[in-house]
Amino acid sequence: MQADRIDAHALQNGELTRALARFVAGTQWRDVPAAVRSEAKRSLVNYFAVALAGSHDPTLEKAVSVYGRFRAGHGATLVGRSERTDMLNAAALNAMSANVYDFDDTHIPTILHPTAPVAAALFALAESHAMSGEALLLAFVTGVEVECRIGSAVSPEHYQRGWHITSTCGVFGAAAAAAKARGLGEDAIVWALGNASAQTGGLVETLGTMSKSISVGNAARNGLLSALLAEDGFSGPAAPLEGERGFLRVTASKPHWHALTQDLGREWALLKNTYKPYPCGVVLNPVIDACLDLRRDARWSIDDIEAVELTGHPLLRERTDRPGVRTGRESQVSAQHAVAVALSRGKAGLEEFTDAAVADPSLRALAGRLRFVDDAAWPVESAQVTIVLRSGERLSHRVQAARGSLAAPLTDVELADKLHRLAAYGRSGVEAQPLADALWKFDTGPDAAAVVRLTRARDAD
């Protein structure tokens, strides 16, 4: 459905929601281009890498303890851990672990992290409802398409108003994916999206705190629940997205209606998915690249720096101007910390975004010397860092396209290396190579759940 055909009648009667439901119900594996199939597997490699890394973070330790008091069974795996839990709790907790370090994938241009809510829901479902790797991948592709199109319809205003887009749109992706995996028809998928609309939430104010993980986990859990309810005839509104008081109009003043359906089935959201080389907000990637390049050839010391100027799109300042951070979690979305740690240490891995790194007094001092220079003409994936030395000398480095961006994507080899590094960082004992081998040929596997079982901690019973 094209933009010029969208009228009041269509909006009121849910024609856009139904078009998405029809796409989910009707899409077959043969309809998915080879490049999209490949990107789906790359997304899952990245998903398990970040989930293994975050599996024993303090946020997860606390969440597993509390959620465990209410578990309804032991049929589902927690990635990187020995405990088992019920399907809904597993969906929530695994989505949390994949997103907790802000190291998961990013859809351009919405800055939505699409895989964590959708993959966590599907793998939890697969352990009790048998499906092949191909079937899970098909459900994953369609779920990601739905959540990213909804995200595009409300961007960028949605995020600017304070909605955490991964959480608010992820619940629709999880619902659509689970509905596809269960073979629901068009009407039931509309209900699933309606059930999801009643459970959407998440605020930007929570970023940098443990609270963010609640809404990311809820996106996976509630999306899965939405589909399971719909499967049993639990009905919802006809126009949960575009209705007068539907999701789009409530969370954005001027939704981009055409984004929901324009070129649906011809253009694919996964082809705009990217993977981070650093565990922080994606807009910081070019900043860190520039800092590391400056540090690599340095003939100066940190004490020689008078000031640091950071030039980029206004979105960079909007999302990362966070001086005086107190925790590693907050540092993941702080340009002040990212610049200081990259210039000081010459690296920007998980260890550089911890509570211990934040407490380093030398980093705090350097962070206070940063100022932003906004330029709306700059692309989001570009940035320039200028070091002003006490001698008056100015040293600049501009990055046109950050490593990991659409213009400079991580290769399959780099993604596999990320899986190995992050699996080791998570200290679960999970062997990365068998997991990587299974994921690269996931579409040929008869049992999708076999992959997630490979991620159970080595000391598991």
* pLDDT, tens only, 3-44: 435 666 667 678 999 999 999 999 999 999 999 999 999 999
Identical topology for domains 3-275+425-453 and 282-399 = no
The domain segmentation of the chain, as residue ranges, is: 3-275+425-453, 282-399
**Number of other residues whose CB lies within 10 A of the CB of residue 434:** 11
Distinct helix (H) and strand (E) counts, the chain: 21, 8
Tell me: the pLDDT tens digits for 214-238? 999 999 999 999 999 999 999 999 9
> Does domain 3-275+425-453 fall into CATH 3.40.720.10?
no
Question: What's the pTM?
Answer: 0.92
Q: How confident is the model at residue 1 (pLDDT cuts 50, 70, 90)?
A: very low
pLDDT at 459: 64
pLDDT at 368: 87
The per-residue pLDDT of the chain, averaged, comes to: 94
Tell me: the pLDDT tens digits for 405-426? 999 999 999 999 999 999 999 9
The yes-or-no verdict on residue 2 having pLDDT over 50 is no
pLDDT at 21: 98
pLDDT at 315: 86
pLDDT at 110: 92
Tell me: the pLDDT tens digits for 44-96? 999 999 999 999 999 999 999 999 999 999 999 999 999 999 999 999 999 99
Could you tell me which CATH class the domain 282-399 is placed in? alpha beta
The alpha carbon torsion through 332, 336, 342, 344 (nearest 10 deg) reads -130
pLDDT at 3: 41
Structure tokens at 277: 């080389």
Q: Would you say how long the chain is, in residues?
A: 461
Structure tokens at 41: 């597997």
State the burial class of residue 265 (Cβ atoms within 10 Å of its Cβ: 0-12, 13-18, 19+): middle
pLDDT at 10: 67
Residues 6+ apart with CB under 8 A from 263: none
What 3-state DSSP class applies to 372? strand
Q: How confident is the model at residue 458 (pLDDT cuts 50, 70, 90)?
A: confident
